[in-house]
Amino acid sequence: YGTGRVNELGHLEIGGVDTVTLGEQYGTPLYIYDVALIRERANMFQEAFKKSGVKSQVAYASKAFSSIAMFQLAMEEGLSLDVVSSGELYTAIQAEFPPERIHLHGNNKSYEELEMAIDANVGCIVVDNFYELSLIESICRKKGKVCPILLRVTPGIEAHTHDYILTGQEDSKFGFDLWNGQAEEALQLVLAKECFDVLGLHCHIGSQIFETTGFILAAQKLSEQIRNWHERYSFSPRVLNLGGGFGIRYTDEDQPIPVSAYVEEIVEAVKRDFDEYRMDMPEIWIEPGRSLVGDAGTTIYKIGSTKHVPNTRTYWAVDGGMSDNIRPALYQAKYEASLANRMNDKAEEEVAIAGKCCESGDMLIWDLPLPNIEHGDLLAVFCTGAYGYSMANNYNRIRRPAVVFVENGESRLVVKRESLDDLIRNDLSLYK
């Protein structure tokens, strides 16, 4: 049941709140976040670092789900924040997130985005390419400022994950290549200029990764390079950021390992190399997104129309779909789901759960065992907390759903459902 339990009415309850009541109160589709679970995950990462004795920052990769309330929660838990656009940065500023713990990412940051980050005094800019270096330099010159940066390098490591979300392999749009001299050229450049305060290096090898091997290999590759650069340029990084990508369980096909295991093995690998090369141990930063919020999120939908295709399947359609969760259509992502209002009823048949968008590909789940469905039943889809709401869109002019936080038996609306007027807010008439 994801993070929920079944209450005495046979309803799905999350964070001590009946999801059927939530559906009535806030409408559907509705994103529900189990706040206690997010806190627990944040703690697990931080405790693992504490145990290792290494200085660290755990930055929430806010692309997984960003909103003012989410950023406030991250702040309460002592997380840092990875933002990738002026939109995410603006949200962080509005949430009064401490700027020194904000890291700006992106492979094509605009002059305006960089200026906004530098004006806000963010903790660092994770620089992706030479053009960006020239933009930062000109902004710093204009303002007489020094910008703390990490250089994002591409170590050329392929993590076993979905092709769409590979970023660490050699043919990647991200970062300075480590194997062909590009990263070294960038390092020489930034070390020579006073406007850059080079904190260290960053890499990110992919997403939804279930093994520690990729992280260890990446750490080794970076450490080796750093040793060379230490000899050549007396470069000694204060920070090594190994990105995010820690996998979670969506269905039985996924077998995640505890987040502490990633931290322990990453720290061990870096320690081993830095000790061997007699260099000072840097701080280790990571950027988990999915593993902080993924399974804390559940979406509930109301079930509407149905269609039976003889000898093939029965479709049941929900009041959302690829407009609020594009992952099944985009990545063939798999989810589990149950009837939130009849959790104790036995499954009778396998059905296909369709969305309401005008696309045959708008299917949430192809083969879901469910009790006999009735119009108006509530479907709870589990583990939708990461890259669900954040990738939601207005295709077919469907309104984005509301988001609620639940904790200790209480619910709180944190993102309002879009209104019809929201949809036309930026439209201009030809006649007025």
Which C-beta is closer to ligand LLP: that of 59 or that of 217?
59
33 annotated to bind ligand: no
Q: Least separation, in Å, of the C-beta of 181 and ligand LLP?
A: 22
289 annotated to bind ligand: yes
Please tell me whether residue 327 binds ligand LLP under the rule CB under 6 A: yes
Which C-beta is closer to ligand LLP: that of 26 or that of 262?
262
Among 291, 298, 325, 341, binds ligand LLP (CB under 6 A): 291
Identify residue 271 by its one-letter amino acid code.
Answer: K
Whole-angstrom distance, CA of residue 412 vs CA of residue 405: 5
Query: Residue 187's closest CA among 139, 220, 151?
Result: 151
Among 287, 324, 377, 407, binds ligand LLP (CB under 6 A): 287
Which C-beta is closer to ligand LLP: that of 86 or that of 341?
86
Among 244, 282, 385, 401, binds ligand LLP (CB under 6 A): 244
Please tell me whether residue 204 binds ligand LLP under the rule CB under 6 A: yes
Please tell me whether residue 288 binds ligand LLP under the rule CB under 6 A: yes
Which C-beta is closer to ligand LLP: that of 337 or that of 373?
337
x/- letters, 380..399, toward ligand LLP (CB under 6 A): ------xx------------
* Inter-CA distances, 161 with 209, 254, 366, 391, 427, Å: 6, 11, 21, 19, 40
Catalytic residue (one of 140, 195, 358, 383): 358
Identify residue 254 by its one-letter amino acid code.
Answer: D
Give the three-state DSSP class for 229. Answer: helix
**For 392, left (φ over 0), alpha (ψ -120 to 50), or beta?**
beta
Q: At what angle do helices 213-233 and 182-191 cross, to 10 degrees?
A: 50
Tokens of 13: 């309850």
Annotated catalytic residue 358: yes
The label of the residue with tokens 């309401």 reads 356
Burial (Cβ within 10 Å: 0-12, 13-18, ≥19) of residue 240: buried
| Interacting residues toward ligand LLP by CB under 6 A | 61, 64, 82, 105, 165, 167, 204, 207-208, 243-246, 287-291, 327, 331, 386-387
Annotated binding residues for pyridoxal 5'-phosphate, written as ranges, equal 245, 287-290, 387
Q: Give the active site residues.
A: 358
